[in-house]
Structure 1
Amino acid sequence: MSESYEYLFKFLVIGSAGTGKSSLLNNFIGNKFKEDRCHTIGVEFGSKIINIGGKSTKLQIWDTAGQERFRSVTRSYYRGAAGALLVYDVTSRDSFNALANWLRDARTLASPNIVILLVGNKKDLEESREVTFTEASQFAQDNELMFLETSAKTGENVE
């Protein structure tokens, strides 16, 4: 039995491999966290119906592969996206340094009206942090992005 909805919005989850994109999606859709997930190949899908202003709205979420070898394939997925979660791992300087490339792709390949949210994942691993909240916040401000930190493991800021 499928639920009915009045609106449908497509969102992409983009960022480097190993940043926890699939874990964020799984937590958002079904509150499931797996410690040892395999890397996404191509794209995986999830959806959730939420209430926005009294309207039933379906969020269709496309979880894209973060590995460089899938980069050209995932470019076609930007078409029709209303928003994107640009995910980095707070314990990985490399994933943060790659954000400019991911952001350039999103702004080049998606609609000019795409809404992009910068997400610092793995907030629960504070002792291994390599990227400060302040510098990520500055990156978001410089690039006119919304920003939050989250933990797919604990569920903090996922809902």
Structure 2
Amino acid sequence: MKNVSLDSTTITLQLWDTAGQEFYSITEQYYRKADGILAMYDLTQSASFTAVRGWMDSQHQALFYECSAKTGRNLEELMAELA
């Protein structure tokens, strides 16, 4: 759970981590009622980027944020956009 404050409203995001499952194995049951999806990849692994790119091509209104799980770079901005 991640609480994000926008103006005077607090929005709670429920985030699920699929623990590196291949994107093609994630079925609609995981995201049927979702308002948004974060598809992440490892910049140091080209196969990781290739796998997520194909999956993202099937989504509408996709945004791209370059973030770092290691440093936290752009994570707050991403969460605000998602909220």
Give yes or no for TM over 0.5: yes
2:14 is matched with which residue? 60
Change (3 A) 1:102 1:66: farther
For normalisation by structure 1, the TM-score amounts to 0.40
The answer for the alignment partner of 2:38 in structure 1 is: 85
Q: CA deviation at 1:146?
A: 1.7
Query: What SS is found at the alignment partner of 2:47?
Result: helix
- 2:64 aligned to which of 138, 142, 147: 147
Shift of 1:55: 1.3
**Alignment length, in residue pairs?**
74
TM-score (norm 2): 0.69
Q: Name the CA distance, whole Å, in 2 between partners of 1:87 and 1:56.
A: 25
**Structure 2: which 5+ residue stretches go unaligned?**
77-83
For 1:85 and 1:52, the matched residues in 2 are separated by 19
- What secondary structure does 1:99 align onto? helix
**Per-residue CA distance 1:69-121 (angstroms, 9 max, x = gap):** x92xx4111111111111111111111111243225x63xxxx6xx5xxxxxx
Q: Which has the larger radius of gyration?
A: 1
User: For 2:34, what is the secondary structure of its paired residue?
Assistant: coil
More strand as a share of residues:
1
Gaps of 5+ in 1: 1-46, 116-144
Q: Secondary structure at the match of 1:57?
A: strand
Q: What SS is found at the alignment partner of 2:75?
A: coil
